[in-house]
Amino acid sequence: MADLSTNVAGIKSPNPFWLASAPPTNSGYQVQRAFEAGWGGAVWKTLGDPILNVTSRFAAVSFNGQRVAGFNNIELITDRPLEVNLKEIYETKKKFPNHAVVASLMVEPKQEKWHEIVKRVEEVGVDGLELNFGCPHGMAERGMGSASGQVPELVEKQTYWVKEAAQTPVIVKLTPNITDITSTAEAAVRGGADAVSMINTINSLAGVDLDSWNTIPHVGGKGAHGGYCGPAVKPIALNMVADCARHPNINVPISGIGGISDWKNAVEFMLMGASGVQVCTAAMHHGFRIVEDMIEGLNNYLDGKGIASLSEIIGAAVPKYSEWGNLDLNYKIVAKINNDVCINCNKCHIACEDTSHQCIDMLKDGSGNSYLEVREEDCVGCNLCSIVCPVDGAIDMIEIESEHPPMSWNERQAAFTSNQSYNPDPVK
Amino acid sequence: MAKSEMARISLTDLKRNFQEVEPGLTGREAVEEANRCLYCYDAPCIQACPTGIDIPTFIKKIASGNLKGSATTIMSANPVGASCARVCPTEELCEGACVLNHSTKPIMIGDLQRHATNWAIQNEQVLFHKGASNGRTVAIIGSGPAGLSAARELALLGYKVTIFEASDKAGGLNTYGIVSFRLPQQISFWEVEQVKSLDVEILTNTTVGKDISAEELQNSYDFIVLAAGMAHVPNLGIEGEELDGVYDAIEFVKETKTKQLTNEFVGKNVVVIGAGNTAIDGATCSVRLGAENVKILYRRTQVEMSAYDFEYEFAKQDGVEFRWLTQPTKIIGDENGRVKAIECLKMELGEPNEDGRRRPAPVNGTEFMIPVDAVIKAIGQTRHQSLIDQFNLEQINGVVQISETYQTSDPNVYACGDVVFGKGKGEAMVVTAAQQGKNVAYAIHHQYEKNSVTA
Ligand SMILES: Cc1cc2nc3c(=O)[nH]c(=O)nc-3n(C[C@H](O)[C@H](O)[C@H](O)COP(=O)(O)OP(=O)(O)OC[C@H]3O[C@@H](n4cnc5c(N)ncnc54)[C@H](O)[C@@H]3O)c2cc1C
Ligand SMILES: Cc1cc2nc3c(=O)[nH]c(=O)nc-3n(C[C@H](O)[C@H](O)[C@H](O)COP(=O)(O)O)c2cc1C
Ligand code: SF4
């Protein structure tokens, strides 16, 4: 049994699985149910000045019959009175002293507003604070959420105000609705953040009804952009986490969020630098019980690899994530089709023929049976054929030995400028 | 050659005929099927499984790649979950309850269960650890599904368990009685090993009542669990039963699971008498041994037979012929004492009797003869009468009587599985035996805790 205990900037939990600030953490009843089911922590549904919600709030995107591949919402922060939330936070923390209870906060960008709310939530015994600079709808129009989260100066300043008052660790939750998330992450660090979390939801419109021409979802015939999350956003979130993890100035712990649906996703985020993870959509799709498999699957994975403590994997894959300019131009892989496994759907052929490099031939053997073959000399190793192939093991991408030593674009440029006589053409 | 045309039966390679018929799911098939599962909450499939396996959870774990967790979920609810994945009538149980029956098609729960447990078998996983000892001892008679299941749960609860098993190997009918092409012995042995790994001692080749007396057990153990199953197939009570070539179906299947397969059935004509699990197994085994023609003779009709629909289909695909309303009256031998024919009588159905099935009655003057080389008797199983008598237990026609808490008339003796299986209750199942074994363990534990409080 591996040690799964987690520490994000001093906020401790028995395992790395926290519920993200969202409907699952709306009340004490829910958070306590979640802890009973095994969740290690919860970031309470964002607290702030009372708001009004609309009905018809969510929409989901199905992909080829798979429900909730992506999830979209136009819900705002909590619509319950602050006192009620505070009372329930207090009770929850009392019942579950070893679980992480983090308060998510969002107020107007004014120093005294931040000071006041920090004081009030810390009084009831939260383990930490998460500043919601990420909500992309509703609150942004009022200068909060992603509106302040998109401006590095505002992120820095508000973080600083919070740090002036806070006794507990401060996590800054970042919006992905920005070109370079490291710029706001850096700003949070400059403001004194103890950790950053990402991502909040991505601006989205889930769909349009083909008959009524209403947006999906719509509120009495009108729609507005919402925030996108769920499995579809995982690659975007993972990249943002990894970008922050490898950034020299962002040296605070990261809480990874975005599309995490099972223990494997969690491992990926942690390998790419997250100290813990947060989950919303997967819990909304299936209920709190999914955490059982998350914990057990993670534990079995670590045991299987002989890793005693979860902390050992945090960031372990970050050194492998770099920039295009550092990739070896002389590394070469080619596709190889295993005809004994191939079912002759010819999808690889047409993908390569129409949209890649025309190097998979459709042939017939002596007895008239069809087979496919890659002309290796023309294959650029793009992976497309193996991606469209529906059968495991029918196409392998195999490494072939290069005639040239490894050389990246950056090295090539450096060599070229430092030595004009050097032949810059080994890759061709 | 298309799969359907592929010869099901080989006359030259009999061994191949006895390999598992249904190929397991590939990894990809399993994941795709697992992802089709809706992961219902309070799912009806769980209710429909006599052992209450948390089916959506084990399937979710296949989808997430947590196969060890998946196998653990299965085996914790059902100590013979790998066997059940293969032999349960899933259409009648979990798969029959799947909510997708109403819309698309049910999840292949049995196949997914097999996939997950196969992983554990192939990776030689030990899934459980024994509980802290509470110093109490239990003797279990019989190592079939009921006995193993009781032993597993008791060991987890901290009891020191000894199983007495008459046969050479443990596992009961899973090891010896259910045909290899549905349940290879290796699966049953793995389940036995899982139980043994909890420090459960299994004394094989030890028949209670012969090698050790009931009294001795009663004197040396705190509790006794009678899980001895049922015994051999009863006599037909007709002339010619002693002839060479007349078999007890259970013994017959056992030989195919334990001995070198021989060619003696190749090209032969076989009749099987009865129409339950055992008859189907006897008939399909005969086909797989190369018999030219196999007929099942049953004195009632298809409606009354206790074999499941899928078994019936399976037998028909194997080319087994069914002769309904046919009662054997005499087995006829040749000069060397070998079976050469069987005389039968046509029947008709009358009024329903106690068990609700219509009673068959002979139609006079309809005698006819079927030339045969072998007769396999599969008309049910007798009871371990003398064993039950040794313990002096209340019983009705060899069916041990128990209370709601599985206690026999002797408060320290519990009973579960086929020993308590009443007549006319359809077919006995591995999965019910397993659940009863669990229940016995909990009942014993309850009694022990009650006693230790009052003591
Ligand atoms: C041919 C056949 C096919 C079947 N097919 C299916 C199927 O497809 N699906 C299904 O669910 N069920 C099937 N069943 C039923 C199922 O096998 C039984 O219900 C189940 O095995 C009962 O478990 P048990 O532990 O009570 O008894 P058993 O499995 O019979 O085990 C009893 C054990 O006790 C031992 N024993 C008996 N007397 C003594 C003694 N005096 N001392 C020590 N040990 C003793 C025996 O050797 C045996 O190992 C089938 C049964 C038969 C006969
Ligand atoms: C309905 C809904 C409401 C949300 N409300 C909040 C919120 O109040 N505060 C917040 O910080 N994030 C909120 N989020 C964003 C989630 O916390 C999380 O960052 C996002 O959903 C990505 O994770 P996921 O892919 O696991 O859902 C909300 C998400 C959803 C779906
Ligand atoms: S889940 Fe359904 S029932 Fe529950 S609040 Fe939403 S719309 Fe209403």
The closest alpha carbon to A177, from A230, A206, A142, A140, belongs to A140
Q: Is the peptide bond between A199 and the residue preceding it cis, with omega within 30 degrees of 0?
A: yes
Give the separation between CA B275 and CA B304, rounded to whole angstroms. 9
Same domain for B338 and B318: yes
Supply B325's token pair.
């309303």
Ligand 2 centroid vs A255 CA: distance in angstroms?
14
- The residues of A annotated as belonging to the active site are 135
Give the separation between CA A389 and CA B431, rounded to whole angstroms. 40
Q: Hey, are the CB atoms on B64 and A289 less than 8 Å from each other?
A: no
Would you state the pLDDT for residue B233? 95
Does ligand 1 lie within 6 Å of residue B141's CB atom? yes
Instruction: Give me the number of domains chain B comprises.
Output: 3
Would you state the pLDDT for residue B160? 98
Closest Cα in chain A, distance from residue B189 (Å)? 25
Q: What are phi and psi of B199, to 5 degrees?
A: 70, 25
Q: Which atom of ligand 2 is least distant from the CA of A231?
A: 25
Would you state the pLDDT for residue B5? 36
Give the separation between CA A231 and CA A252, rounded to whole angstroms. 26
Same domain for B91 and B52: yes
Would you state the pLDDT for residue A9? 98
Q: What average pLDDT does this structure show over A196-220?
A: 96
Sign of CA dihedral B220, B226, B230, B235: positive
Cα-based distances in Å from B243 to A282, A302, B80, B225: 67, 63, 38, 38
Choice from A229, A269, A286 to test ligand 2 binding pocket (greatest atom count within 8 A of CB): A229
The answer to whether residue B6 scores a pLDDT higher than 50 is: no
Domains in chain A with CATH codes: 6-320 (3.20.20.70), 328-400 (3.30.70.20)
Sign of CA dihedral A245, A247, A252, A257: negative
Same domain for B219 and B253: no
Ligand nearest to the CA of B227: 1
The answer to whether residue B1 scores a pLDDT higher than 70 is: no
Asked if the C-beta of B61 comes within 8 angstroms of chain A's C-beta atoms, the answer is yes
User: Which residue's entry shows tokens 């999808």?
Assistant: A347
Range of the domain at B102: 23-122
Give the separation between CA A139 and CA A146, rounded to whole angstroms. 8
| Distance, CA of A184 to chain centre | 16
| Edge-to-edge strand ranges of the sheet holding B374-377 | B246-248, B374-377, B269-273, B293-297, B321-323
Classify residue B154: in a domain, yes or no: yes
Same domain for B334 and B358: yes
Q: Whose CA is nearest to atom 35 of ligand 1?
A: B142
Q: Whose CA is nearest to atom 12 of ligand 1?
A: B429
Same domain for B429 and B317: no
pTM of the model: 0.92
Same domain for B401 and B362: no
Q: What average pLDDT does this structure show over B182-197?
A: 97
Ligand 3 centroid vs A56 CA: distance in angstroms?
10
Percent of all residues in chain A with a pLDDT value above 70, rounded to a whole number:
96
| A426 confidence band (pLDDT: 50, 70, 90) | low
Q: What average pLDDT does this structure show over B196-203?
A: 98
Q: In a 3-state reduction of DSSP, which class is residue B277?
A: helix
Classify residue B129: in a domain, yes or no: no
| B47 confidence band (pLDDT: 50, 70, 90) | very high
Q: Each residue of B277-311: b (16+ CB within 10 Å) or e?
A: bbbbbbbbbbbbbbbebbbbbbbbbeebbbbbeeb
Would you state the pLDDT for residue B11? 87
Would you state the pLDDT for residue B8? 77
Angle CA B178–B180–B183, to nearest 5:
65
Classify residue B128: in a domain, yes or no: no
Would you state the pLDDT for residue A144? 74
Classify residue B4: in a domain, yes or no: no
Closest Cα in chain B, distance from residue A46 (Å)? 28
With a Cβ cut-off of 6 Å, ligand 2 is lined by: A 20-23, 45-46, 58, 71, 73, 75, 77, 104, 132, 134-135, 173, 200-201, 229-230, 233, 257-260, 279-282
Would you state the pLDDT for residue B3? 36
CATH number, domain containing residue B390: 3.50.50.60
Same domain for B370 and B314: yes
Residue B263: Cβ within 10 Å count = 12
Same domain for B373 and B256: yes
- What is the four-CA torsion angle of B440, B443, B449, B455, rounded to 10 degrees? -100
Would you state the pLDDT for residue A425? 57
Same domain for B252 and B305: yes
The pLDDT tens digits for B259-289 are: 999 999 999 999 999 989 999 999 999 999 9
| Mutation choice for B interface testing from A268, A290, A296 by most B CBs within 10 A | A296
Q: What is the DSSP pairing of strand A195-198 with strand A254-257?
A: parallel
Cα-based distances in Å from B6 to A54, B1, B9, B10, B313: 62, 7, 9, 10, 18
User: Which residue's entry shows tokens 């430092």?
Assistant: A418
Classify residue B238: in a domain, yes or no: no
User: Which residue's entry shows tokens 């309303």?
Assistant: B325
Q: A134 or B174: whose pLDDT is higher?
A: B174
Q: What average pLDDT does this structure show over A234-263?
A: 98
The answer to whether residue B453 scores a pLDDT higher than 90 is: no
Ligand nearest to the CA of A235: 2
Would you state the pLDDT for residue A422? 54
Same domain for B356 and B278: yes
Q: Each residue of B362-392: b (16+ CB within 10 Å) or e?
A: eeeeeeeebebbbbbbbbebebbeebbebbe
Residues in B closer than 8 angstroms to A263, CB to CB, are 64, 66
The pLDDT tens digits for B336-352 are: 999 999 999 999 998 88
Classify residue B418: in a domain, yes or no: yes
Question: Among residues B95, B122, B149, which one ends one of the domains?
Answer: B122
The answer to whether residue A192 scores a pLDDT higher than 80 is: yes
Ligand nearest to the CA of B435: 1
| B2 confidence band (pLDDT: 50, 70, 90) | very low
- Residue by residue, DSSP assigns A340-406 as TT-----HHHHHHHHHS---EEEEE-TTS-EEEEE-GGG-----HHHHH--STTSEEEEEE--SS--
Amino acid identity of residue B102, one-letter, is H
CATH number, domain containing residue B83: 1.10.1060.10
The answer to whether residue A427 scores a pLDDT higher than 60 is: no
The pLDDT tens digits for B349-401 are: 988 887 777 889 999 999 999 999 999 999 999 999 999 999 999 999 999 99
Classify residue B131: in a domain, yes or no: no
The answer to whether residue A223 scores a pLDDT higher than 60 is: yes
Question: Among residues B89, B122, B155, which one ends one of the domains?
Answer: B122
Residues in B closer than 8 angstroms to A393, CB to CB, are none
Would you state the pLDDT for residue B19? 92
Does ligand 1 lie within 6 Å of residue B214's CB atom? no
Question: Would residue A209 be called left, alpha or beta, if left means φ above 0 and alpha means ψ between -120 and 50 degrees?
Answer: beta
- Residue by residue, DSSP assigns A184-244 as HHHHHHHTT-SEEEE---EEE--EE-TTT--EES-BTTB---EEEESGGGHHHHHHHHHHH
Would you state the pLDDT for residue B455? 52
Q: What average pLDDT does this structure show over A394-400?
A: 96
Supply B83's token pair.
């066997």
Would you state the pLDDT for residue B278? 93
The answer to whether residue A357 scores a pLDDT higher than 80 is: yes
Would you state the pLDDT for residue A224? 93
Q: Hey, are the CB atoms on B61 and A66 less than 8 Å from each other?
A: no
Cβ pairs A/B, distance under 8 A: 39
Closest Cα in chain A, distance from residue B349 (Å)? 51
Same domain for B72 and B37: yes
The answer to whether residue A140 scores a pLDDT higher than 80 is: no
